[in-house]
Amino acid sequence: MPAIIDTDPGIDDAIAILHALRVPDLDILALTTVAGNIGLSVTTGNAGRIVACAGVPTPVHAGAAAPLGREPRPETGVHGTDGLGGVTFPAPLAEPASRDAVAYMAEALMAAEPKTIDLLCLAPLTNVALLLRHHPEAAARIRRIIAMGGAVDEPGNMGADKRAEFNLAHDPEAAAEVLHAGLDLVLIPLDATRQFRANADFIARLRTVGTAPSVACADLIEAYFAQTEGQTQIRESRPLHDPCVPLYALRPDLFRLETRSLQVEPESGALVPGPYQMQVAMGVDADGLRDALAEGLAC
């Protein structure tokens, strides 16, 4: 299943990428990076370090350094100033590829048979919106977009009223352009991802697997636990948002999809009722997802 991962690593991005690079049923053609959780130079460097940890040579293409017409708003409070919660990764095996992310996406899509490449989107949708703007013929050849983003019935995690979610709120204009474009798209919002968490037993399971990617993921999840120190009765990590994207690509049976009529508010990035029908994941089999994640990291 050929795919390009568009990402802003990010603790949960790193877990998603390590899993996606190791499982045999995904062929990750490249990582494309965007400013989101932290600045572009850091997200691009992190992508290279994650590739080195996975041991699967995969090119990295740097993309948009800022949202469309807005200033970046990094989320260092969750991911730390290094984007990876202080977890040590090996140095990148290679410099980022010279071509920019959007040009790479267009070239890869035009070179492949139509409707054969998925975009697995773990980040603000700036790169994908620029692809739509500047290379519409290539964008029309995307097989499917699977994107983590938004909040439908659940509260969001951005804005004074907490209606929006980070990925869509970071670049609302890009989110609207992509989600309203009529492409084959599955959206995985907070409604689903908040159901997928890890506990101490799962961390121990990953350490028992013993591969470099599984141990790194255990360390990353522990960094998520550290974010909640001082709170009482913490039994689980923060939600594992981004791993839901490659897991959906491989195991759609572990997700409950609904068709919702929605649109993106242009200022806030919140999802509200609207005319655009979308396939939205509203529930998950969390035990099944944990099993699938651990099994993939054992490969």
User: Which residues does the annotation mark as catalytic?
Assistant: 241
Segments in the chain forming alpha helices (H): 11-22, 40-54, 76-79, 101-111, 126-134, 136-139, 166-170, 172-179, 190-193, 200-209, 212-226, 244-250, 286-297
Rounded to whole angstroms, how far apart are CA atoms 102 and 118?
Answer: 15
DSSP class of residue 279? Answer: E
* Main-chain phi, psi angles of 61, to 5 degrees: -120, 120
Q: Tell me the sheet residues that pair with 276.
A: 262
| Residue at 203: amino acid letter | I
* CA angle in degrees (0–180, nearest 5) for 99-103-109: 120
Buried b (16+ CB within 10 A) or exposed e, 79-103: bbebbbbebebeebeeebbeebbbb
Report, in angstroms and rounded to the nearest whole number, the Rg of the chain calculated over CA atoms: 17
Tell me which residue of 114, 283, 112, 70 sits closest to 191, measured CA to CA: 283
* CA angle in degrees (0–180, nearest 5) for 297-281-231: 70
Q: Are the C-beta atoms of residues 297 and 209 closer than 8 Å to each other? A: yes
Structure tokens given for 23:
């499982």
98 by DSSP, 3-state: which?
Answer: coil
210 by DSSP, 3-state: which?
Answer: coil
